[in-house]
Chains A and B, each alone.
Chain A
Amino acid sequence: MTDIKAVELPKWGMTMEDGAVDEWHLAEGQPFSTGDALCTIDSSKISNDLEAPFDGFLRRIVARPGQTLPVGALLAVSADPSVPDADIDAFVEARTGAASAEPAPASAAAAVPVAAAAVPVAAAVSVAAVAAAATTNGAPTRAPAAPLPGTLLVPEVLRGAADETVFATPHALAYAREHGIALGAVTGTGPEGRVAIKDIESAIVGAGGRLPTRTRADRSGPARSRADDSAVPATPVARRLAQSLGINLHDCRSTGTRDRVCRLDVEEAARRFGLGEHSATPASNPAPEPARPENAPTPVPFSPMRRTIAARLQSSVQTAPHFRVNTEIVLDRVLALRADINAATPGVKVSVNDLVVKAAALALRRVPEVNVQFDEATQTVLRFPDADISVAVAIPDGLITPIVRAANRKSVGEISAELTDLATKAKAGKLRPEEFQGGTFSVSNLGMLGVTSFDAIINPPQAAILAVSAGIARPVVESGAVVVRTVMEVSLSSDHRVIDGALAATFVGELKAILQAPTQMLV
């Protein structure tokens, strides 16, 4: 079995809990090298290619396109062509826990009362995995309401805060913290009564609780820590090696100088966990280049980002009935305020857009019915106390909407510094998922490109987006006289399922009132 390797669903960002294979780029029976794109994976917010973490040979595709799986789930199996199919079957069975949950993989899939997105017979997905998929936010299928047979059930007698004074392994302590288990109620069987994971597990079972069906393969072999190991003293080489082998530094001895974990310790742990050296690349027979006709167009494949943009905006237009409300805003006082702020404070460089974001945040507080997300699945409108404003940033191969959180509570200077920071990170591709996922309202500004008016497509699950155009000198009638003013048009696109015309008009009216008397933003 040591020649058989698992390809697992990676965790991209702290908030990612599950994902689905969008498309496999390789077929069963093809070799691959480290770094090759194996498949495209969609999480709820982002789509990206999974690069092969090692050289191998794709023997079995387990996760079919469209099937939502939890992080860490088995996607595919890699093994040398010499490994018999029966071994691959056994590996898949062990990894997905299908054999222990159900008599046969086929019936495991069939027994699940969900029309799970095309789960094929060969894909031995565990009950827990499919159940998790079904409860995924935004998934079209819903889970049955009954408690799931594969989940952890902690009996009442064991519930409580994890008592850190109890002598326990770090792993056990982390487990107790995670699941709210009172360690004092668990009998330790380790040396000097030390509580280990297995003690907690037998206490749960003993008190009438239930253990989860394992979806990971780490049932076999020694227990592996999943605790944060960033504070474990280690040499730089050891830390990097451990990361690349997926070894937690808590699982390593520390025999290095000054009690640090050194390279040998990580290698020792790797042997203990049966993680052999990366096998040599199998002799690959590269497929012959398909002949291309002369003067063929250059195909520009959709990048993962373009695919995400395309899918999300298409779905938005198709599902959310858009309507627009426009207004013209006289910008002269905003421009004067901006000039004053910038002249008075060296450390601040405020743009008109920063002031628009701040004004929108205040308007959202006044008209909270617009500061919402719409959960289509449950037909629920989620109303938020703070305005988390997504700001569209154009980047070379698409656009992304980093978020100014609680913009209503931030000063104009703070919003400005944060937006500059986020926009630069966006262009450099350094945004973390939590910096662009979520948001309660969006602002898209094309003013710097000189447009006089445009409208925007709603960024679901939000219900409205503000399109901001350029400030342009125009004749304006004030007190019966024609004067020249800088006028900026804004257009609010709203989802009519959630927001009605009068409400949208009220919002843009409040926005206009704030921007035309902008000192309101400073208090």
Chain B
Amino acid sequence: MNEKSPLQRQSDIFDIVVVGAGPGGYVAAIRAAQHGLRVAVVERAELGGVCANWGCIPTKAMLHGADVAHAIEESAALGFAVAGVAFDMGSLVGFSRKVVARLTGGIASLLDANGIEVVRGSATVAGKGRVRVDLPDGVGRDLRADHIIVATGARPRSIPGVVPDGDRIWTSTDALRPADRPASLVVIGSGAIGVEFASLYRDLGTEVILLEAAPAILPVEDAAVSAFVEKQFTARGIAVHTGVSIDSVQAGPASVEVRFRTAAGADVSTVAERVLVATGVAANSEGLGLAELGVRFDRGFVVTDEWCRTAVAGLYAVGDVAGAPCLAHKASHEAVVCVDRIVGEPGVHPLDRDYIPGCTYSRPQVASLGLTEKQARETGRPLQVGVFDLVANGKALALNEPSGFVKTIFDGETGELLGAHLVGPEVTEMIQGFGIARGLEATAESLADIVFAHPTVSEAMHESVLAALGRSLHWPPAKATAAR
């Protein structure tokens, strides 16, 4: 037996060990360190997880490029004669990687500044309170902690019979580092990821076909939002097919053939340069030793209670690995709730998974919170629904993008905000306002009392609330009450 000195022994003993340094894991580690606990975070790849490295952040950097392409396109209307425009995909990818490097470097310094030990290697939960880390140099380390938080995230999931190969058949990761701009792209799946890439590549000049198995694109959004985005996409030259079933995806040396059946029952074959499979994510829950300890799973996702506890003593899971919605901000929030609960911080509330805002950074942007109108109607509660069209918003007109709307759904009895659905310019920055309102239990009346600055796109939020109360100021009375 290898006798360790007390200090050697203590160097492997922590109060909390976090597995995974994505937006769930690194936030959990920082929060725990803020409470004065001794914390280690284990990461096998890059700090920041998918979000910072292959998700939220690099896509936004690439979409910024798409916005510039769009700006050049519309610049003539504003008096610019832009000539000799050329585009280099490598430079845009390079920009996005630089953004990623800056951000992940920031996470490393944050962890360091909080006194958190970063252990690089692959973790397994070897037993209750024990994390085995296999280090790259072949040596292992056995960490011990009363509390282990699994924040291992998720990875792109394909559909049966379609195997991404990183060349012709892409996952979102491949779509973030293309060697060149594809002339044509078939996007399978129209959740936030599929829609963002369809929009991005279309603005860069690629011919895009967007295929969705559900009856509408952006299936989790309000039906009016889905219909609006589909209309906008179609107008931009994106071929949108909903209600399709994919028969086969066959990669050739220079192209890939996609066969699918349309909603009408017609068999269609299309050939494109690349295919992007964006059909959801699978939890990174295998190979960690969780099942052996008695952790329960639901379709691969770890089952947790409202405090992120698994069925195993001292073992917790936060973020994507603990189930939908698979969003970075949900992971970070769960991380804080989980840690605060562990240390007995007063006033901790469980996360209400129904009220996590969701954003899609396509053109037009989509942002939403809470119930769709259909879901709200299904509750049987009396509703007050307001819609305000951005065609009557001065700032949207000035931005040359006066299309989109803000829909708000209130409980007619309690005045509680049940849902907010926004589509149009800048709406991803506006949704926080409704999140704050909901969080502070504002009512429709109290929102109507707020002074909104003019001229802003956000004024449409106010008008939407006024519309819900039947008090629209900037919309004629007859149309204000008309159903959308």
Contacts of A431 in B (CB 8 A): 344
Contact (A349, B36) CB under 8 Å given A257-B443, A425-B343, A430-B344: no
Q: Is the CB of B376 closer than 8 A to any CB of chain A?
A: no
Contact of B15 among A349, A416, A421, A424 (CB under 8 A): A424
Q: Is the CB of A236 closer than 8 A to any CB of chain B?
A: yes
B146's nearest neighbour on chain A, judged by CB, is A420
A428 contacts B314, C-beta separation under 8 Å: no
Q: Is the CB of B288 closer than 8 A to any CB of chain A?
A: no
B191 to chain A, nearest CB (A): 34
Please, how many angstroms separate the alpha-carbon atoms of A449 and B9 in the complex? Answer: 8
Q: Is the CB of B324 closer than 8 A to any CB of chain A?
A: no
Q: Which of A34-42, A80-88, A340-348, A380-388 contacts B (4 or more CB under 8 A)?
A: A340-348
A521 to chain B, nearest CB (A): 18
A218 to chain B, nearest CB (A): 27
Per DSSP, chain B at the interface is loop
Q: Which chain B residues numbered 410 to 453 have a C-beta less than 8 Å away from chain A?
A: 415, 440, 443, 445-446, 449
Among A342, A346, A421, A425, max chain B CB count under 10 A is at: A346
Contacts of A347 in B (CB 8 A): 294, 311-313
Contact (A424, B312) CB under 8 Å given A349-B129, A429-B36: no
B36 contacts A428, C-beta separation under 8 Å: yes
B79 to chain A, nearest CB (A): 47
Count residues of A near B (Cβ-Cβ below 8 Å): 25
B36 contacts A396, C-beta separation under 8 Å: yes
Q: Is the CB of A297 closer than 8 A to any CB of chain B?
A: no
Among A235, A257, A396, A428, max chain B CB count under 10 A is at: A428
Contacts of B415 in A (CB 8 A): 257-258
Contacts of A448 in B (CB 8 A): 9, 13
CB 8 Å contact bits of A407-432 with B (1 = contact, 0 = none): 00000000011001101110111110
B13 to chain A, nearest CB (A): 8
CB 8 Å contact bits of A329-365 with B (1 = contact, 0 = none): 0000000000000100011110000000000000000
A430 contacts B147, C-beta separation under 8 Å: no
Q: Is the CB of B359 closer than 8 A to any CB of chain A?
A: no
Contact (A428, B146) CB under 8 Å given A235-B440, A346-B293, A349-B313: no
Q: Is the CB of B35 closer than 8 A to any CB of chain A?
A: yes
Please, how many angstroms separate the alpha-carbon atoms of A416 and B129 in the complex? Answer: 13
Contacts of B146 in A (CB 8 A): 420, 423-424
Q: Is the CB of A450 closer than 8 A to any CB of chain B?
A: yes
B313 contacts A449, C-beta separation under 8 Å: no
Q: Is the CB of B345 closer than 8 A to any CB of chain A?
A: yes
CB 8 Å contact bits of B11-51 with A (1 = contact, 0 = none): 00101000000000000000000011110000000000000
Contacts of A396 in B (CB 8 A): 36
A342 contacts B343, C-beta separation under 8 Å: no
B343 contacts A424, C-beta separation under 8 Å: yes
A257 contacts B445, C-beta separation under 8 Å: yes
B128's nearest neighbour on chain A, judged by CB, is A349
Contacts of B295 in A (CB 8 A): 346
CB 8 Å contact bits of B122-141 with A (1 = contact, 0 = none): 00000011000000000000
* Chain B: interface size category: 20 to 34
B145's nearest neighbour on chain A, judged by CB, is A424
Please, how many angstroms separate the alpha-carbon atoms of A424 and B37 in the complex? Answer: 8
Please, how many angstroms separate the alpha-carbon atoms of A424 and B316 in the complex? Answer: 15
Contact of B37 among A342, A346, A428 (CB under 8 A): A428
A430 contacts B35, C-beta separation under 8 Å: yes
Q: Is the CB of B476 closer than 8 A to any CB of chain A?
A: no
CB 8 Å contact bits of B291-317 with A (1 = contact, 0 = none): 001110000000000000001111000
Contacts of B35 in A (CB 8 A): 427-430
Please, how many angstroms separate the alpha-carbon atoms of A444 and B440 in the complex? Answer: 46
B335 to chain A, nearest CB (A): 15
B313 contacts A421, C-beta separation under 8 Å: no
A229 to chain B, nearest CB (A): 16
Contacts across chains A and B counted by CB atoms under 8 Å: 68
Q: Which chain B residues numbered 271 to 295 have a C-beta less than 8 Å away from chain A?
A: 293-295
Please, how many angstroms separate the alpha-carbon atoms of A429 and B35 in the complex? Answer: 8
Please, how many angstroms separate the alpha-carbon atoms of A348 and B345 in the complex? Answer: 23
B471 to chain A, nearest CB (A): 16
Contact (A424, B147) CB under 8 Å given A258-B415, A449-B6: yes
A204 to chain B, nearest CB (A): 38
CB 8 Å contact bits of A155-179 with B (1 = contact, 0 = none): 0000000000000000000000000
B344 contacts A425, C-beta separation under 8 Å: yes
Contact of A421 among B37, B312, B344 (CB under 8 A): B344
Contacts of B38 in A (CB 8 A): 427
Q: Is the CB of B342 closer than 8 A to any CB of chain A?
A: yes
Contacts of B313 in A (CB 8 A): 346-349, 416-417, 420
A342 contacts B128, C-beta separation under 8 Å: yes
A256's nearest neighbour on chain B, judged by CB, is B446
Please, how many angstroms separate the alpha-carbon atoms of A235 and B342 in the complex? Answer: 28
Contact (A430, B345) CB under 8 Å given A346-B293, A424-B147: yes
B294 contacts A428, C-beta separation under 8 Å: no
A424 contacts B443, C-beta separation under 8 Å: no
B433 to chain A, nearest CB (A): 16
A450 contacts B314, C-beta separation under 8 Å: no
Please, how many angstroms separate the alpha-carbon atoms of A236 and B415 in the complex? Answer: 17
Among A235, A236, A427, max chain B CB count under 10 A is at: A427
A472 to chain B, nearest CB (A): 11
Please, how many angstroms separate the alpha-carbon atoms of A329 and B421 in the complex? Answer: 67
A262's nearest neighbour on chain B, judged by CB, is B446
Contacts of A346 in B (CB 8 A): 293-295, 311-313
B135 to chain A, nearest CB (A): 24
CB 8 Å contact bits of B322-359 with A (1 = contact, 0 = none): 00000000000000000000111100000000000000
Please, how many angstroms separate the alpha-carbon atoms of A235 and B38 in the complex? Answer: 37
Please, how many angstroms separate the alpha-carbon atoms of A258 and B343 in the complex? Answer: 35
Please, how many angstroms separate the alpha-carbon atoms of A500 and B95 in the complex? Answer: 79
A427 contacts B446, C-beta separation under 8 Å: no
A470 to chain B, nearest CB (A): 11
B260 to chain A, nearest CB (A): 44
Please, how many angstroms separate the alpha-carbon atoms of A417 and B344 in the complex? Answer: 13
A427 contacts B36, C-beta separation under 8 Å: yes
Contacts of A349 in B (CB 8 A): 128-129, 313-314
Chosen A-B contacts, 15 in total, with CB atoms closer than 8 Å, are: A258-B415, A346-B295, A349-B129, A349-B313, A420-B147, A423-B146, A424-B15, A424-B37, A427-B15, A427-B36, A428-B343, A431-B344, A448-B9, A449-B9, A450-B6
The 5 closest A-B pairs by CB, nearest first: A346-B294, A428-B343, A349-B313, A428-B35, A349-B128
Given A425-B344, A427-B35, 14 other A-B contacts at CB below 8 A?
A: A236-B440, A257-B415, A257-B443, A257-B445, A257-B449, A258-B443, A346-B293, A424-B146, A424-B147, A427-B36, A430-B343, A448-B9, A448-B13, A449-B6
